[in-house]
Amino acid sequence: MAIKDKFQFLYGERAQVICHAPGRVNLMGDHTDYNLGFVLPAAINFGTDIAASKRTDNRICVTALDLDASQVIFSLDDIEFDEHQTWSNYIRGCLRALKARFPDFAGANLAISGNVPRGAGLSSSASLEMALLRAIASLYDLALDGVTAALMGQQAENEFVGCNCGIMDQLISAEGRSGRALLLDCRNLSRRYAKLPADLGILIVNSNVKRGLVDSEYNTRRRQCEAVARHLGQPSLREVTLAMLEAARHELDETDYRRARHVLGENQRTLDMLEALQAQDLKRVGSLMAESHASLKEDFAVTVAQTDALVGILTEAIGEEGGARMTGGGFGGCVVALGSKAALARAETAVRERYEALTGLTPDIYLCHAVDGAFAQKELTDN
């Protein structure tokens, strides 16, 4: 049953708007966004759908169709953190941020459904946030653009949910473009789009090692990076050079030093990755992905044995036609592989044959392509 039909069954009326926002996969640049560095994500063809209609009062009634039709009702006049149905806090936080900017919109009936694997590192939360903000903006004709929506989603996670995420997830879900990756400068939110090679495939493999970003060491990593920047008298690691870091190594905690070294190297790899994709140099793409995964494993310490095994299987199968790396916050979740479609077909076969035998876990495999974000407004010319 389509979401519009489920909405009508639930609420006894037709949805006035149906909005979609995609999840994302980060091709290069992990743990750089909150350090105001560079990231290179793509919006993917998995996402969140929201059907909505206006109410005549200030109440929000939201039904999560994928959570056994779990329902919450709250007032826009009194948005409080929900200790029990914690999924609703992403909605509550976004609406609080939206209300601060646009105080005159009223309530809504909402039905939510999505196919982004939760807890896999493909940004199901940002997809939910951007679909919600797009739906409310459409219902009430609010002049909300994608960048502002992304900032609201980030604010909701930072200040309401309690996750110190950067801006990447929300911005690519809002502003992604079909067939393109987005190079985002997280310091000033400037963006460049790179057309992906026609024969390039994106293969995402969920390790099915469950992860909880808020409860993980993600926030610890952020504090470690901020400590190095502060020690060097800089507002963020974006202003720190490798020479500055090396000169101060003896003054820093060794673990903090390694965290910062990853970020500086990852920023450069992200810029190099853009050039490699534009040049359709898949061998270089593979080398950069291998360097990134090694840095995430050794310096940032956010991989696990299962994702390391996946990267090994994929890299061996793909050969010089692409590469693989951990993607997302880490501590489980997904691995992304880029390569020719023939190489990815080999890689998928290898994963199905070897991963479960090595780990005891059954992988979920998704062949993806880059799609438009929730606030995408126009086609882009090739660049």
pLDDT of residue 69: 82
Report pLDDT digits (tens) over 207-231: 998 765 545 677 899 999 999 999 9
Q: Which carries the bigger pLDDT value, residue 65 or residue 120?
A: 65
Using CA atoms, how far residue 288 sits from 97, 121, 173, 293, 317, in Å, is 38, 20, 24, 9, 17
How is the chain split among helix, strand and coil, in percent rounded to 5?
45, 20, 35
**Helices and strands (H and E) in the chain: how many:** 11, 11
* Mean pLDDT score, 185-195: 93
Q: What's the pLDDT score for residue 294?
A: 98
On average, the pLDDT of the chain sits at: 93
Chain CA centroid to CA 213, Å: 12
125-166 pLDDT per residue, tens: 999 999 999 999 999 999 999 999 999 999 999 999 988 777
Could you tell me the pLDDT band of residue 382, with boundaries at 50, 70 and 90?
very low
Residue 60's φ and ψ, nearest 5 degrees, are -105, 120
Residue 274, C-beta contacts closer than 8 angstroms, at least 6 positions apart: 40, 181, 183, 192, 194
Provide the pLDDT for residue 119: 62
Instruction: Tell me the percentage of the chain whose pLDDT exceeds 90.
Output: 86
pLDDT at 87 over 60: yes
Q: Can you give the pLDDT at residue 218?
A: 79
Q: What is the largest CA-CA distance in the chain?
A: 67
- Residue 214: phi and psi, rounded to 5, are -65, -35
Q: How far does Cα 128 stand from its chain's mean position? A: 11
Mean pLDDT of 108-130: 87
Mean pLDDT along residues 244-267: 98
The predicted structure's pLDDT at residue 217: 79
Is the pLDDT score of 120 beyond 70? Answer: no
| Mean pLDDT of the region 184-193 | 94
Q: Check: CB of residue 376 under 8 Å from CB of residue 134.
A: no
Has residue 366 got a pLDDT over 90?
Answer: yes
Q: How far is CA 242 from CA 6, 81, 246, 267, 277, in A?
A: 54, 41, 6, 11, 25
Would residue 382 show up in a list of annotated catalytic residues for this protein?
no
Higher pLDDT, 121 or 126: 126
Per-residue pLDDT tens for 13-63?
999 999 999 999 999 999 999 899 999 999 999 999 999 999 999 999 999
Cα 153 from Cα 175, distance rounded (Å)? 13
| pLDDT for position 383 | 47
Name the catalytic one among 30, 49, 169, 299: 169
**Rounded mean pLDDT, 107-126:** 85
Q: What pLDDT sits at residue 283? A: 96
Cα 108 to Cα 11, 102, 105, 139: the distances in Å are 11, 15, 9, 9
> Which domains are delineated in the chain?
3-185 (3.30.230.10), 197-368 (3.30.70.890)
Pairing relation of β-strands 59-64 and 108-114? parallel
